Amino acid sequence: MARHNELGKRGEAIALETLKKKGYEILETNWRHEKQEVDIIARDKDELVIVEVKTRSTSFFGDPEEAVTPAKAGRLIEAAEAYVEEKDLNMDIRFDVIAIIIDNKITVNHIKDAFFAGDF
């Protein structure tokens, strides 16, 4: 497996543990809709939370969350809508980003409401 894939998998594992410690119920990991993959789908009380995980080994080229472009956000919104329809859910949806830097230490930044469906 390529080094960046290993880093990404490690970041997703850290993100899952972070969410579990905060009391989130994990519903899905790596859920796919057409060509889009949602890293984590969870429930936080009465909200469905769509989580994009971005992991980097350094912040030299910018913070990991900066990699969530408007195009990426738009694809996540489409996937979330498909998930809600497929599962026949009626609940509020929130889009979070968990940005992780793994270098000499692990830094986790959980950004709630990182973007809104109405923004795109």
Say whether pLDDT at 4 is over 90: no
pLDDT of res. 120: 55
Average pLDDT over residues 3-21: 91
65, 52 Cβ separation under 8 angstroms: no
> pLDDT tens digit string along 60-98?
888 999 999 999 999 999 999 999 999 999 999 999 999
- Rounded to two decimals, the pTM is 0.92
Q: In a 10 Å sphere around its CB, with 0-12 CB exposed, 13-18 middle and 19+ buried, how is residue 50 labelled?
A: buried
> Would you give the DSSP letter of residue 64?
G
The CATH architecture one would assign to domain 3-119 is 3-Layer(aba) Sandwich (3.40)
Q: What is the distance between the alpha carbons of residues 64 and 47, in angstroms, rounded to a whole number? A: 24
Q: What is the distance between the alpha carbons of residues 102 and 77, in angstroms, rounded to a whole number? A: 28
pLDDT of res. 5: 78
> What percent of the chain has pLDDT above 90?
82
The tokens describing 52, both together, are 């994009």
